[in-house]
Amino acid sequence: MKTDSIFYRLFQEFPSIFFELIGESPQEANAYQFSSVEVKQTAFRIDGVFLPAKKSDNPIYFVEVQFQCDSEIYARLFAEIFLYLRHNQPENDWRAVVIYPTRNIDTAERKHYREFFTTQRVSRIYLDELGEAVSLPIGVATVKLVIENEDTAIEQARELIDRTQQEISVQQQQQQLLQLIETILIYKFPTMSREEIEAMFGLSELKQTRFYQEAFEEGKQEGKQEGKQEGKQEGKQEGKQEGKQEGRLEAQLEAVPRLLALGLTVEQIAQALGLSVQEVPQSAQQQPFNESNS
């Protein structure tokens, strides 16, 4: 999973989540602008920086997302921070936050930098220690979805979708969060088709997201192209319709075995894919799920 890009998008669109993660009020985000910063004349790039508004006493927050063991993470982080401070000479104080999936990834030596940790100038967050998703703020629970395994990610995503619809009344924010949940699942299940992602979300929720709309338009264009080719032989209009219908049906039937393997019921798959209940087990027999291809 491309965790850097996931977290960059998350903090850019929902900066309040970062402040919830570090135990501050989400309202603090109103006083900050989030960006990725490249230190001039070096190859260093800081994952994310929360810059306070001008004429503010709020600290600068440097954010590093680390999902693999790296013995040089702290040496590199502090080198980046101090080069940034030298080049920009900000008046504001600074803090740093390192986000890990689990504590056992945090293996780098800290003896040269221990004062920064003991004074809490630098803090570490372990996503697996945040608690149960149901008890967390919805933004923090969405962050935790990144580390869920495949067996629980789909169910967690469904619960997050329900919470999003219940707890977020602003339509634009609701759609942004749905798209973010969807993006995390796309990265977690890169081999899944559009129909499989659609079934994972539930038909009504997914149709509201940008990914579905883009995929649907793509499907329409593909259907038109197939229809044009078929139309040369049997009639243009008839070919268009057959091309779209056959292509979609084939993709739907190919999705069934994998969805069954993920634990969805026959009724859930039939509803999501627009198939009859009878067609689902029949297509599963015709298209057996091959674990080696997943």
Q: Are 185 and 159 in contact (CB under 8 A)?
A: no
- Residues 50, 160 share a domain: yes
In a domain, 294, yes or no: no
- Residues 216, 270 share a domain: yes
Give CA angle at 214 (209, 220), nearest 5°: 125
- Residues 69, 27 share a domain: yes
Q: Which phi and psi angles does 94 have, rounded to 5°?
A: -140, 155
Q: Are 227 and 239 in contact (CB under 8 A)?
A: yes
- Residues 170, 247 share a domain: no
- Residues 177, 214 share a domain: no
Report residue 294's pLDDT band, with 50, 70 and 90 as the boundaries. very low
Whether the model pTM is above 0.85: no
* Host domain of residue 38: 3-200
Domain stop point among 200, 227, 245: 200
Residues 206-241 pLDDT 10s: 555 555 455 455 555 655 565 555 544 554 444 445
* Percent of the chain scoring above 70 in pLDDT: 65
Task: Count up the domains in the chain and report the number.
Answer: 2
Q: Nearest CA to 208 among 168, 267, 148, 256? A: 168
Q: Nearest CA to 154 among 190, 120, 203, 199? A: 199
Q: Are 208 and 176 in contact (CB under 8 A)?
A: no
What is the arithmetic mean of pLDDT over 126-133? 93
What is the arithmetic mean of pLDDT over 165-192? 81
The pair of three-digit structure tokens given for residue 74, joined into one six-digit string: 């702290």
In a domain, 205, yes or no: no
| Strand order, beta sheet including 60-65 | 32-38, 45-52, 60-65, 94-100, 122-126
- Residues 260, 225 share a domain: yes
